[in-house]
Chain A
Amino acid sequence: MEKERNITIDGREFRFSEGETILTVAKRNHIDIPTLCHLKGTTPTGACRICVVEVEGARTLMTSCTVPATVGMVVRSESPEVIRSRRMTIELMLTSGRHDDCLVCPSSGNCRLQELAFRYKVKGTTFEDTGVKYPMESVNPFILRDFSKCILCGRCVQACNEVQVNEAIDMGYRGSATKIITKGDVALKDSDCVFCGECVQVCPVAALVPKDARITPRLSEMKEVKTTCSYCGVGCQMNLHVKNNRVWQVTGCEESAPNYGSLCVKGRYGFDFIASDKRLTTPLIKENGTFREASWDEALTLTAKRLKEISDVQSDATGLLTSARITNEENYIAQKFARTVLKTNNVDHCARL
């Protein structure tokens, strides 16, 4: 008979399987140990120290995201010492750089540090702000790097190196001068960065935000619509963040196959064509070599008339190119139209290109 594996967390006994961390067991049992640097799918770094818990017999507090549960382990997830440590850690984060401007911060309402400060009632007033050590970097079209907001949790580094494996950023320098850097500490645009934006998505604060995040609605005030990316064939699941009939931001859906939150530069940042002023808005009819605007009724009637004239004579004199970019439903309708109305099998699309 297999030996029972039990761990005690906050006075309650739970079963666990070999290799599970304290955090995993706690989460499964709805014990809310707060985390910050923890990033699903990557090696736990234990960097932020928010998830520390008291383990009986241990010399120091232990990070629940890294320590495997062991038989008979006794854990306290919110003991006074744990709370004191978390409060101090949050306090230290709140006062490193500039975190006193939630009112105008693009991540407000969607900020892990803000949530933690609220939960543990920490105001960031014990120490003086260390202010801006490294200037903001905005010399690329997509990502704004505000180092004064960076709490060096390292999630972006994990995302870049272990999720997307672009290996563009890492931690650099030492001590309080530590900074997330590219190779040679050059700007992202001159580095190995391919602007997949995975780092932006996982940034728990406002250190990495979309370039225009300061002048567009915050995530927290937008409606979220889950859809499928319209670029390559991977079919990434993404959220369009919408306000006032406009898509302002795109994020990957973290819980959905096939991409589990990842996107590429096109999917994440190439959505401005939707609201482009170059969009076609009115049917056009060419007369004497130039287009004129036409009503829908006129254009549709003209199209129907011409197609009918030609197909009535010789159905295979008409053809239809449907599209690898429109929906299944539309492709279905298009080929059904060709086969049943134009009465031809001259249907194709650019599958081969």
Chain B
Amino acid sequence: MTNPISDIEKSDVILVVGSNTTDTHPVISAAMKRAAKFGGKKLIVIDPRGITLKKYAAIQMAPKPGGDIAWINGMIRIILEEGLEAKAYIAERTEGFDAMADSVASFTPEYVTKITGIPEETLTQAARLFASGEKGSIYYCMGITQHISGTDNVKALANLAMVCGNMGIEGGGVNPLRGQNNVQGACDMGGLPDVYPGYRKVHDETHAQTMESAWGVTGLSRTPGITATEMVDAALKGSLKALYIIGENPLLSEADLTHTEKGFKNLEFLVVQDIFMTETAQTADVVLPALCFAEKEGTFTNTERRVQRVRKAVDGPDGVLADWEIVCEIAKRMGTEMPFDSPEAIFTEIAATTPAFTGLSYTRLEKEGIPWPCPTADHPGTPRLHVGRFAKGKGSFFPLSWTPPAEITDAEYPLVLTTGRLLYHYHTGTMTRKSKGLNERAPECFVEMAGSDAEELGLKDGAMTQITSRRGEINAKVKVSRRMARGTVFIPFHFAEAAANRLTNAKLDPVSKIPEFKVCAIRIQGA
């Protein structure tokens, strides 16, 4: 996030898109609801589903899945047409405005309505409301990114924010809500194929040399690696032979599971390190047990870039090691010493080698977390990015066009499937499905659909159905719901026994390599 969570209640207008916030980020949703109910702030909520947060919205819109660039460009067009843009801000702090302005010109309200189904009137109201707030903020989640146009979707939101002068101000920003406890940290720490810790490119010679000297090694590869989804293809082709998986469960979380399974079967060696016997671990050659968060020391970095301490509360199962200890042990057995005696020692090295972390230490994090960048030991951390000036100088506008989703409905697969999370479960359910209470609240998979769709299919609420896509099929019970618009159904992806990702399409966004989890074509029949 560019801005801290505490900024939510400081915004005048809050635009939330592609985030079922009350279920996936309940504590953040509370701040949004408070802002709307008690703070006199205006909420604009955009989601294909009638999510709970819409109850608090001044304006709500329900675009058809895959139509995001259309309505965002449409809003920008209205803002420019009515002269509501932040002219001075655009002139002083941004570049590329004209090209962007040209690119939105064709997104007339009529055109947007045709693509998204959003009424022209509503779009206009939303544009005016968003532009009217002195401080406008945007919050988004996987509903924006999990599309083949995910990167463009995010850029479109950035365009919208900059048009209104909302980047780099208190109560503004474009804020992705990170779905997992340390997804921010995993990225920051270089858990990506193309960057070292601190987002320094592996193919950049200067960075590579810096890391070589910092780590005391030579010959670091200058070639960016491949992403998780690409690894599946590489395994299938035989170019990837061994995979070491730590605390991940791709055999439930990846798109197009059947394809993923095939790839994994083709590996020569698979080692999985986890706290439970996951679907992925079951296919491994070696399974290594690890400690969970309550059994070790360390830090997580939250969605607002705040680095926070994790502390050991209990001893883990006898003899079981922390993930870092296991990795170090394997390294040692491969002939490389990684001589750390504690997470704190590792953190000291992180601070020494990662510019944004230089000023951080366990001592400083003892009382409260600190948001990076934190360049010096007396720096208070950076709750807001781009204040006064963008990190790279000027903020860039991008001209964007709309493309339809990779897979569209047809006579054979007439319904749109969108996937997501439930309040009571987390990701692949590795932890939550071991929790008795959470399982009691949400025991099984379901397919949520509009009453009219169910009626047309001759299905009653609670009826067992078979859901089929070009890639696979699962069985789940019908849940008739007013939250769904006709033609779109929703399935949570937490449940291994009815894994939604058997159905999803592994088509990737060309830049972020995120699969299009949010749109695929399916059909449903009684089972």
Is A348 positioned at the interface, with any CB of B under 8 Å from its CB? Answer: yes
Is A31 positioned at the interface, with any CB of B under 8 Å from its CB? Answer: no
Please give, as numbers and ranges, the residues of chain A lying within 8 Å of B190 by CB-CB distance.
331-332, 335-336, 339, 347
8 Å CB contact of A301 from B221, B322, B333, B441: B333
* CB of B19, distance to nearest CB on chain A (Å): 11
Is B363 positioned at the interface, with any CB of A under 8 Å from its CB? Answer: no
* CB of A17, distance to nearest CB on chain B (Å): 21
Known: A233-B303, A346-B231. A258 touches B334 (CB 8 A): no
The reply to whether B244 and A307 form a contact with Cβ atoms under 8 Å apart is: yes
The reply to whether A225 and B240 form a contact with Cβ atoms under 8 Å apart is: no
Interface string of B214-231 (1 = CB under 8 A from A): 010101110111111101
What are 19 A-B pairs at a CB distance below 8 A? A189-B441, A228-B308, A230-B293, A269-B438, A272-B436, A274-B292, A300-B330, A320-B244, A321-B243, A321-B246, A322-B247, A326-B298, A328-B188, A335-B190, A339-B202, A341-B334, A344-B221, A347-B193, A349-B186
**Assuming A227-B313, A273-B430, what are 4 further A-B pairs, CB within 8 angstroms?**
A230-B292, A235-B302, A280-B287, A291-B287
8 Å CB contact of B226 from A230, A270, A319, A353: A319
In this complex, what residue of A is CB-closest to B249? A350
Is A337 positioned at the interface, with any CB of B under 8 Å from its CB? Answer: yes
Please give, as numbers and ranges, the residues of chain A lying within 8 Å of B309 by CB-CB distance.
226-228
The reply to whether A329 and B330 form a contact with Cβ atoms under 8 Å apart is: no
Is A81 positioned at the interface, with any CB of B under 8 Å from its CB? Answer: no
The reply to whether A321 and B245 form a contact with Cβ atoms under 8 Å apart is: yes
The reply to whether B438 and A265 form a contact with Cβ atoms under 8 Å apart is: yes
Please give, as numbers and ranges, the residues of chain B lying within 8 Å of A331 by CB-CB distance.
182, 185-186, 189-191
* Size of A's binding interface in residues, CB under 8 A: 110
Please give, as numbers and ranges, the residues of chain A lying within 8 Å of B183 by CB-CB distance.
233, 324, 349-351
A255→B424 CA distance, assembly (Å): 26
In this complex, what residue of B is CB-closest to A259? B27
Is A245 positioned at the interface, with any CB of B under 8 Å from its CB? Answer: yes
Please give, as numbers and ranges, the residues of chain B lying within 8 Å of A330 by CB-CB distance.
246, 298, 322-324, 327, 343
Q: Which of B103-111, B344-352, B450-458 contacts A (4 or more CB under 8 A)?
A: B344-352
The reply to whether B178 and A233 form a contact with Cβ atoms under 8 Å apart is: yes
* CB of A304, distance to nearest CB on chain B (Å): 3
In this complex, what residue of A is CB-closest to B433? A273
The reply to whether A351 and B186 form a contact with Cβ atoms under 8 Å apart is: yes
The reply to whether B180 and A324 form a contact with Cβ atoms under 8 Å apart is: yes
Is A102 positioned at the interface, with any CB of B under 8 Å from its CB? Answer: no
Which chain A residues in 241-283 approach chain B with CB under 8 Å? 242, 245-247, 256-259, 262-266, 269-274, 276, 278-283
User: Which positions in B face A, CB cutoff 8 Å?
Assistant: 4-6, 22, 24-28, 30, 33-34, 37-38, 56, 145-146, 177-194, 196-197, 202, 211, 215, 217, 219-221, 223-229, 231, 234, 239-248, 250, 253-254, 268-269, 271, 274-277, 281, 284-290, 292-296, 298-304, 306-315, 317-324, 326-331, 333-336, 338, 340, 343, 346-347, 349-350, 368-369, 423-427, 430-432, 434-438, 440-441, 512-515, 517
A8→B517 CA distance, assembly (Å): 64
The reply to whether B182 and A326 form a contact with Cβ atoms under 8 Å apart is: yes
In this complex, what residue of B is CB-closest to A235? B302
The reply to whether A257 and B191 form a contact with Cβ atoms under 8 Å apart is: no
In this complex, what residue of B is CB-closest to A353? B253
Known: A273-B431, A330-B322, A340-B215. A299 touches B248 (CB 8 A): no
Is A318 positioned at the interface, with any CB of B under 8 Å from its CB? Answer: yes
Nearest 8 interchain pairs by C-beta:
A235-B302, A327-B298, A141-B437, A233-B178, A323-B247, A345-B225, A304-B333, A280-B289
Is A28 positioned at the interface, with any CB of B under 8 Å from its CB? Answer: no
A282→B327 CA distance, assembly (Å): 16
Interface centre among B25, B284, B313 (most CB of A within 10 A): B313
The reply to whether A328 and B286 form a contact with Cβ atoms under 8 Å apart is: no
Q: Which of A93-101, A115-123, A161-169 contacts B (4 or more CB under 8 A)?
A: A161-169
The reply to whether A348 and B228 form a contact with Cβ atoms under 8 Å apart is: yes
Please give, as numbers and ranges, the residues of chain B lying within 8 Å of A235 by CB-CB distance.
181, 300-304, 306, 308, 369
In this complex, what residue of B is CB-closest to A274? B294
Interface string of A193-204 (1 = CB under 8 A from B): 011100000000
Please give, as numbers and ranges, the residues of chain A lying within 8 Å of B145 by CB-CB distance.
352
Is A70 positioned at the interface, with any CB of B under 8 Å from its CB? Answer: no
The reply to whether A348 and B340 form a contact with Cβ atoms under 8 Å apart is: no
* CB of A202, distance to nearest CB on chain B (Å): 14
The reply to whether B30 and A281 form a contact with Cβ atoms under 8 Å apart is: no
A275→B46 CA distance, assembly (Å): 40
